[in-house]
Amino acid sequence: MRSIGETARASGLGVSALRFYDRAGVLVPVRVDPVSGYRWYGEEQLAEARVLARLRRAGMPLADIRLVLAAWSGTDTALARTLLAAHLRRLEAGLSDARAEFSALRALLDQRENPMSPRDTAPVSLSVPAPALAAALDAVRFAVGTDPELPMLGGVLFDVDGDGVHTVATDRYRMAVSRTAAIGHAGPRVQAVVPAPLADAMRALLGGEGPVRLELDGDRVRLEAGDRQVAGQCLDHDFPDYRRLVHLPAGRRVLVDTSVLREALETGPVHEQESSAAELSVLEVTDDDTVTVREEAGAGQDVIAVNREFLLQALTAAAHDRLVLESTSPTAPLAIRRPDDEHTFSLLMPVRLDD
């Protein structure tokens, strides 16, 4: 017999998935240890597990999977072929519908294109405190995207509006926002996406205490700090409207000691699952407003799973000894906020735990 771990590795199904399919009566192990509850699978079940993994990746409903496996183990495979063909027709119909919807969405995007880009506005020159701008870049840099297929996320957004500059970065799975007071701009809102290497070069000049000069001129940005300066080309892409993404309903807020939470994450249990290549930490908010890192990955109203490395990076970027964690539900973004600064925060998308 094979252990559940061996069966998982050989079949392509995760351990948690095998447990789920056991509970669902789809793939029941040959033997379950009466003391430990450990599952053992027969050699002949490996082929069924591999079929199950393929059906799962193809998105077949559980009820159909059950019937396909039942037919697979017999001599009459007609039912299995019928179910496979029916599911393939559903997938093809769904793909056709999706293509039609995407064509309509592209047409709507074409209609919304603005021929006057924010980069075509008059030059903007701002005076910004060097320590504040340095802290703002430090707070968001970790969230810059690296996906070559999403070049618009490969930099830091400088959003100049009124008497302040918002710096924003996102890679879809996390977003970081900070705001810095500025002097010198009273015109319309201006945006520029500064590529990550140029943003890093700008950060290197922000070691002093006095103000620096930030200039946005069309598709170029320049930072002057005393007798030193760095300048370069902005990304020729529009950044998503982050303001729509950060207006979240108020959730349960918990004040945590950053060093204590960091140690719990670094030394506590991590979880792996088939649908995510990252190590996950499962956080639970107890009745006394304490955040714990759970051993088990079970679901619950006050339980949220996040990418462990992303959360550790967010704690470092926040640079505060106490932080507020806020979320409305296990499927809502987790907000990491400074208790004394409402303009600097990050959001982490939760990871859905496998059944």
Range of lowest pLDDT (115-124, 195-204, 288-297) = 115-124
- Annotate the chain with three-state secondary structure: CEEHHHHHHHHCCCHHHHHHHHHCCCCCCCEECCCCCCEEECCCHHHHHHHHHHHHHCCCCHHHHHHHHHHHCCCCCHHHHHHHHHHHHHHHHHHHHHHHHHHHHHHHHHHHCCCCCHHHCCCEEEEEEHHHHHHHHHHHHHHCCCCCCCHHHCEEEEEEECCEEEEEEECCCEEEEEEEECECCCCCCEEEEEEHHHHHHHHHCCCCCCEEEEEEECCEEEEEECCEEEEEECCCCCCCCHHHHHCCCCCEEEEEEHHHHHHHHHHCCCEEECCEEEEEEEEEECCCCCEEECCCCCCCCCEEEEEHHHHHHHHHHHCCCEEEEEECCCCCCEEEEECCEEEEEEEECCCCCCC
**Domain 2-88 belongs to what architecture?**
Orthogonal Bundle (1.10)
Do the domains at 2-88 and 118-241 have one common CATH topology? no
pLDDT at res. 116: 45
- Going from N- to C-terminal start, the domains of the chain cover 2-88, 118-241, 248-348
Mean pLDDT score of the chain: 87
pLDDT in tens, 77-94: 888 889 899 999 999 989
Domain 248-348 sits in which CATH superfamily?
DNA Polymerase III, subunit A, domain 2 (3.10.150.10)
**Is the pLDDT score of 307 beyond 80?**
yes
Query: pLDDT band for position 9 (50/70/90)?
Result: very high
Query: pLDDT band for position 117 (50/70/90)?
Result: very low
Give domain 118-241's CATH number out of 3.50.50.60, 3.90.230.10, 3.30.460.20, 3.10.150.10.
3.10.150.10
pLDDT at res. 180: 93
Residue predicted with more confidence, 275 or 42: 42
